[in-house]
Amino acid sequence: MAPDLLWTLIAFFLTILVLSYVLGDNALFRFIMMVFVGISAGYAAVLIYYQVLLPRLIIPLMTVPAPGKAVFIIPAVLGILLLFKLSPRLSALGNPSMALLTGVGAAVAVGGAVTGTLFGQISGAISPFDLAGVQGGGSWITQLLGGIVLLGGTVCSLAYFHFGARKKDDENTGSQPVLIQIPARIGQVFIAITLGALFAGVLSAALAALIERLAFLINVIKPLIS
């Protein structure tokens, strides 16, 4: 049997087993999920070894002169300490490594959110109001209207997440000021439209993957029938 035909048949049966979930959760589908998780974990381990550990740690420790090895010994020790998290009795030894990973991860996430999201949103909301380079009679009006909608949607969406409220003397519960309630309602509409667009994008991607798999099954079955 040709290798291409063998892999095609394997892909065919694996696709059938995955699609069997339509009939309900079953042992074959769970088996395929375990295979997928195992292959993903193995691929990630090989990728980490050949692209991270080997070129960035093992080879430098073997080739760098003695005075410069201290830079690579520290991450090696932290990595070894991290392995102690596998043991309940010795897991405390891995806490320094986990603390470093958590701190660095949080710093990278916050920095990325501020520089990539917050500053990007501010720049995107301001840039449409720069009409210096706009050419054409009515194009500046379109750009200005688009900038107003973008800026208004940003401000109103932020107002939706304002949970502060003043408590009145004659009421047990507080209420938001009207200046916050109206933009919050408008922001709710913008958020609903955004979530709807995201859901439509995810659904269309899932349908495209399903159609591709069904087309694959048809292309495999058609020669056998004919």
Q: Per the domain annotation, does 118 fall within a domain?
A: no
Q: Per the domain annotation, does 24 fall within a domain?
A: no
Q: What percent of the chain has pLDDT over 90?
A: 27
The tokens of 47 are what? Answer: 């990728």
Cα–Cα distances in Å, from 219 out to 9, 176, 226? 12, 60, 11
pLDDT band at 10 (very low <50, low <70, confident <90, very high): confident
Q: Per the domain annotation, does 30 fall within a domain?
A: no
Q: Per the domain annotation, does 159 fall within a domain?
A: yes
Question: What domain range is 149 assigned to?
Answer: 131-226
Q: Per the domain annotation, does 39 fall within a domain?
A: no
- The backbone torsions φ and ψ at residue 167, rounded to the nearest 5 degrees and listed phi first, read -95, 120
Q: Per the domain annotation, does 211 fall within a domain?
A: yes
- pLDDT score at 115: 86
Q: DSSP for 144-206?
A: HHHHHHHHHHHHHHHHHT----EEPTT-SSEE--HHHHHHHHHHHHHHHHHHHHHHHHHHHHH
Instruction: Tell me the per-residue pLDDT of 36-85, one tens digit each, with 9 for 90 and over.
Output: 999 999 999 999 999 988 988 888 888 888 777 778 888 888 888 988 98
pLDDT band at 5 (very low <50, low <70, confident <90, very high): confident
- pLDDT score at 107: 94
Instruction: Tell me the per-residue pLDDT of 132-173, one tens digit each, with 9 for 90 and over.
Output: 766 655 577 888 888 888 888 888 888 888 776 666 665 555
More confident residue, 178 or 107: 107
- Number of folded domains that form the chain: 1
Please give the average per-residue pLDDT across 171-199, as a whole number: 84
Q: Per the domain annotation, does 199 fall within a domain?
A: yes
